[in-house]
Amino acid sequence: MGWRKVHRWLGLTLGTLAVVLGVTGAMLAADPVQQSWQAPAAPGDLPVATLVERVTRNIPGADEIRRLPSGAIVVFGFAGDQPQASYVDPADGRVLGAWQASALPRWVKNLHRSLLLGDAGRWGAAGIALAMGLLCSSALVLLLRRMGGWRRLAARVHGTLAQRIHVVAGRVVLAVLCLTSLTALTMSASTLGLVDLDASAEPEVASVGTGTFLPGAQLAALQGLAVRDLRKLSLPGAADAQDTWKVTTAQGQGWIDRYSGRMLAWQDATLAQRVYDLAVVLHTGEAAWPWAVVLGLASASVLVFWLSGLLIWWQARRLAPRITGNAPLAGADVLIFVASEGGSTWGFAQTLSDALGRGGHRVHLSALENFRTTAAARQVLVLAATYGEGQAPAHAAHALAHIAKLDAGAVPVTVLGFGDRQYPAFCAFAKALDQTLRDRGWPALLPLDCIHQQSAQQFGRWGVALAQALGEPLVLEHVPRLPPTTTLTLTARQDFPDAYGQAAAILRFARPEQGVGARLRGHGLARFVAGDLVAILPPGSAVPRYYSLASGCADGFLEICVRQMPGGLCSTHLLGLQTGDRITAFIRANPDFALPRTRHEVLLIGAGTGVAPLAGFIRRNDGHRPMHLYFGGRDPARDFYFRPDIEHWLSDGRLATLQTAFSRVPDGGGYVQDALRRDAARVCGLMAQGAIVRVCGSRDMARGVAETLDAVLAPLQLSVAKLKARERYAEDVF
């Protein structure tokens, strides 16, 4: 069972009980804070002998002096026949008021420790603590996977509001919750009798002597003991001549002769006792009220985790693929194996299965870890997604090792990868899988192909190649299960001339107001930043088209730059919109293209409409971080998109420098690659100082920029590949 399943089912099955422990823990954390305010703490360096002298002078019937974890001093004794407990001022020993343990913490403690069920409840609470430890461990693994490793742990979080709350809260309090789980288990081990805290029975000691008892202030053992180390001091009874002083500290306990003042016996605290005492402080916040505040907030966050996790689970369940028409393995002539982390690749597999089924094939779908061939199989197709930094999806973690042990068969095995080009290890798992198959001798009907960002269009083109290889008609019209959409209203547009048969426009849409409920469920446009993608559904199509955003939600509007594509359904629709017209859309995060939170300078390289997200970065550069824009177009009079804004940003310092290149006008400077080559010395200087690079435009343009930068940066022993590996270079290509 993968970490995701462990995390999900522990959270769902034990979540309610964990919430009970979390809420009661938050309530109990208030107790140390309250105690620290009720009475003044004793100075840590005050000798216990001095404290005894002050107390006995004011309270003749004192039997016991106790230092609370808050540092306050409480004295227990009798007034006549009535027991009493009083706070005292350690400065002079005077009584400040009665001390009484709160009834609420006692009840809450019983609920927290044993669920009000006695010994069975204590075992149950220990089991929940163990489950919380497993939850925290699985949460850490999933958090590192989601964020892309330790180095990206502090990166910006994307997703629905529920997902962002779950992840951000986890980053903040996960370590504290892990610690509370561990300390709870430590304390339970003692409570349940699994660990013995006491080394041995107390020694039998008695004071021996005659004459006058020494007052506490004259006992050498108490004169050398600081109040900071005191837990409890029991005073000898006046009527029992053999009674002793008994002192308990963090280091152990001792018995003092009341006549001579010498230590009659001493027992060191066991290692188990010291560990237990430390666990109590770390778990409850006793003796450290600021830590108690941290514990209280962390405990209260369990409710936040449970609610947000429940909502995330419900959303995932609603969108989970449901495989239909799956033929039995033994009779299938086409086998499709799938490796998918989030479930979307299963949707593509279902589309492929349905299309092959319409062509008369019997198709069997299964997870990649079940890879095998049969006598009836004629084709094997593998759809493999890559997760995180080039890893296999969790369920297929051991699939490569399994396949490497199999003997190659004659059945062709074709691999189709799914990934994101923003990651340095684009489709790395699919590539490793394909290489393993070829090394083992498996033939292939088609060479490895890779799909970028779950593109239905690229999947359709692969289907054309597959149909040609099979020699039969096959149409892959994948309609992904889309997240909830929202309606956007066009408020303004800026048109550009029909340059070279390709009209263009900058379109600005109003950002709709949304309630917290819609944001938690991920409906519509809960949150977005420049560089994220807006998915637009043109009329008559269920396949979204993606456009890079030139604005963020902080700007109060949504802006894109659209150029007419030959035969383009969506671009034609968008360019035909008039002010007040509406479209249907949703947001897809593009976190790896976002700018990191550093002060390093930024090299922005864009061509054509690819300048849109770069303009969005500059627009929000309120801190005037040095940004340098290299813009490429055809004709400055026709396709210099965002020109007024760019010139304004230059004047107000949001943009440090601008270099342009226009390929269709005399002395225009050629292509953006040429501008980089002309500026090689400055580019090298910026990169040597740690600058980061963002490139947006066509795939051919991005390839040309990468080749140019490889040549320019060679003297620095840098390359685009190295920059990507160091997360200093990212592309948004189309």
Instruction: Please state, in angstroms and rounded to a whole number, the distance separating the CA atoms of residues 464 and 470.
Output: 10
What does the pLDDT look like over 337-359, one tens digit per residue? 999 876 789 999 999 999 999 99
**Given a cut of 90, is residue 103 above it in pLDDT?**
no
- Tell me which residue of 431, 433, 481 sits closest to 454, measured CA to CA: 481
Q: What is the rounded distance in angstroms from the CA atom of residue 48 to the CA atom of residue 226?
A: 6
424 vs 364: CA distance, rounded Å: 33
pLDDT at 616 over 80: yes
pLDDT of residue 476: 93
pLDDT for res 414: 96
pLDDT band at 233 (very low <50, low <70, confident <90, very high): very high
Other CB atoms within a 10 A radius of the CB of residue 723 amount to 21
Looking at 542-671, list the stretches that DSSP marks H as alpha helix, in order from N- to C-terminal side: 569-575, 611-619, 643-652
Closest CA to 451 of 410, 474, 471, 480: 480
Look up the CATH number of the domain holding residue 585. 2.40.30.10
- Residue 728: inside a domain: yes
d(CA 342, CA 386): 11
Q: Which of 615, 627, 632, 611 is nearest to 675 (CA)?
A: 632
Residue 319 to residue 344: CA distance in whole angstroms:
9
**Going by DSSP bridges, is the β-strand pair 363-367/230-234 parallel, antiparallel, or unpaired?**
unpaired
- The average confidence (pLDDT) of the chain is 86
- Rounded to an integer, what distance in angstroms lies between the CA atom of residue 374 and that of residue 333? 9
Asked whether residue 415 falls in the same domain as residue 506, the answer is no
Residue range 294-305, pLDDT digits in tens:
878 888 888 888
Banded pLDDT at 319 (limits 50, 70, 90): low
In this predicted structure, the answer to whether residue 211 has a pLDDT above a threshold of 50 is: yes
Q: Residue 11: inside a domain, yes or no? A: yes
**Does the structure show a pLDDT above 50 at 1?**
no
Q: In what order do the strands lie in the sheet with 252-256?
A: 95-98, 82-88, 73-79, 62-67, 230-234, 245-249, 252-256, 263-268
Q: What is the pLDDT of residues 651-672, one digit of tens each?
A: 999 999 999 999 989 988 999 9
pLDDT at 207 over 70: yes
Range list of H helices, 224-327: 271-284, 289-319
Q: Are 620 and 553 in contact (CB under 8 A)?
A: no
Is there a single domain that holds both residue 559 and residue 621?
A: no
Residues 580 and 491 in one domain: yes
Where is the domain boundary, 568, 592, 616? 592
| pLDDT at residue 683, rounded to an integer | 96
Looking at the fold, whether 59 and 142 belong to one and the same domain comes out as no
Q: Is the pLDDT of residue 241 over 70?
A: yes
More confident call, 409 vs 342: 409
The pairing of strands 692-697 and 729-733 is parallel
- Choice between 150 and 363, residue whose per-residue pLDDT is larger: 363
DSSP at 483: P
118 and 86 together in one domain: no
Which percentage of the chain shows pLDDT scores above 70?
92
pLDDT for position 500 = 65
Residues 14 and 142 in one domain: yes
Side-chain half-sphere CA neighbours of 348 within 13 A: 27
User: Of 151-160, 588-597, 684-693, which range is least confident?
Assistant: 151-160
Would you call 628 helix, strand, or coil by DSSP?
strand
Q: Does residue 682 share a domain with residue 626?
A: yes
Question: What is the span of the domain harbouring residue 720?
Answer: 595-733
In a domain, 98, yes or no: no
Q: What is the CA radius of gyration of the chain?
A: 35
pLDDT recorded at residue 31? 72
Contact 490, 457 (CB under 8 A): no
The pLDDT of 387-406, averaged and rounded, is: 82
Separation between Cα atoms, residue 112 and residue 126, nearest integer Å: 11
The DSSP letter of residue 549 is -
Alpha-helix runs per DSSP H in 450-596: 456-470, 516-521, 569-575
CA distance 588 to 481: 13
The predicted structure's pLDDT at residue 158: 61
298: nearest Cα among 169, 165, 185: 169
**CA dihedral of residues 389, 393, 395, 398 (deg, nearest 10):** -60
Going by C-beta distance under 8 Å and a sequence separation of 6 or more, which residues neighbour residue 677? 708, 711, 712
- Domain assignment present for residue 303? The answer is yes
**pLDDT exceeds cutoff 90 at 423:** no
Q: Which residues contact 734 (CB under 8 A, 6 or more apart)?
A: 546, 548, 610, 697, 698, 699
Question: Is 514 in contact with 523 (CB distance < 8 Å)?
Answer: yes
Tokens found for residue 340: 């998918």
Are residue 464 and residue 350 in the same domain, yes or no? yes
Residue 709 scores a pLDDT above 80? yes
- For residue 430, the SS3 value is helix
Cβ neighbours for 342, distance < 8 A, ≥ 6 positions apart: 385
Q: What is the mean pLDDT of residues 472-484?
A: 84
Position 156 scores a pLDDT of: 66
Q: How many residues does the chain have?
A: 734
Confidence of residue 199 (pLDDT cuts 50, 70, 90): low
**Residues 82 and 228 grouped into a single domain:** yes
What CA–CA distance (Å, rounded) separates 147 from 164? 12
- The pLDDT of residue 515 is 55
CA distance 134 to 3: 10
Residue 299 belongs to some domain of the structure? yes
Is 723 found in the same domain as 611? Answer: yes
Residue with tokens 């706070």: 87
Angle at the Cα of 88 from the Cα atoms of 86 and 93, rounded to 5 degrees: 130
The predicted-structure confidence for 513-567, as pLDDT tens digits, reads as follows 665 555 544 445 667 899 999 989 888 777 788 899 999 988 999 999 999 988 8
Residue 169 contacts by C-beta under 8 Å, 6 or more apart in sequence? Answer: 301, 304, 305, 308
Claim to verify: residue 347 and residue 365 sit in the same structural domain: yes
Number of domains the chain contains: 5
Question: Which of residues 408 and 145 earns the better pLDDT score?
Answer: 408
- Strand-strand pairing, 363-367 and 95-98: unpaired
Would you say residue 478 lies in a domain?
no
Confirm if 419 and 430 have CB atoms less than 8 A apart: yes
Q: What percent of the chain has pLDDT over 90?
A: 42
- The β-bridge partners of 490 are 509
Tell how far CA 485 is from the center of its chain: 25
**47: which DSSP letter?**
B
203 versus 495: the higher-pLDDT residue is 495
465 or 14, higher pLDDT: 465
Q: Count of H helices and E strands in the chain?
A: 21, 24
Give domain status of residue 95, yes or no: no
Burial class (CB in 10 A: 0-12, 13-18, 19+), 94: middle
My answer on whether 353 and 412 are in the same domain is: yes
Instruction: Specify if 342 maps to a domain.
Output: yes
Domain holding 412: CATH number?
A: 3.40.50.360
Q: Is the four-CA dihedral 668, 670, 673, 675 of positive or negative sign?
A: negative
Instruction: Assess contact for 548 and 453: CB atoms under 8 A.
Output: no
Is 50 exceeded by the pLDDT of residue 118? yes
